[in-house]
Amino acid sequence: MIPLSLLVGFLLQVSALAPAPPPSSSVIVGLQDGEKLTLADPQFTGFIQTRDNDSVLLYKQKDFHGELKVNNIQRIDVHYRKGRPYDLSVALKNGQKLDVQSDKRDFLTVKGATDSGFVTIKNPDPLSPKIRLSSHPQNRKHDQTIQYLEFPR
């Protein structure tokens, strides 16, 4: 009986010493219609880019262009104005708030897993773009899908 209890005790100690799996990253996407989606292990393209398992926000503030790691961000509110880069209200995890604009890219695509399967969210969402020649930028106000992004960690 004693050897069995020693074996069980040893197995409990080994399982306690085993490293826990790293927590998976997630993002809560607030859509324009009020719906919220939680995506596990998100992959970004556009003004937020995923590079080697690390995501960065590409932004500009006046004449300054920069990159900010998403790990430092709590929330990003996305505001659209016709013909302009996105205005972004960025709340950092340390409590600081930044008002910046998206840099270089005027779109955002987020891919990730939800409880119901794999999802791709595009902002703006080009469901049925009208093809026509124009001398001014198209108003994409009604094609916007993402209102905000939250990064809980």
This prediction's pTM: 0.74
Query: Which amino acid is residue 62, in one-letter code?
Result: K
Paired tokens of 139 = 């108003």
Distance in angstroms (rounded) separating the CA atoms of residues 151 and 153: 6
Do the Cβ atoms of 11 and 4 come closer than 8 Å? no
Distance in angstroms (rounded) separating the CA atoms of residues 64 and 58: 11
pLDDT tens digit sequence for 7-64: 445 444 544 444 433 445 899 999 888 889 999 999 999 999 998 888 999 999 888 8
Distance in angstroms (rounded) separating the CA atoms of residues 105 and 44: 12
**3-state class (DSSP) for residue 151:** coil
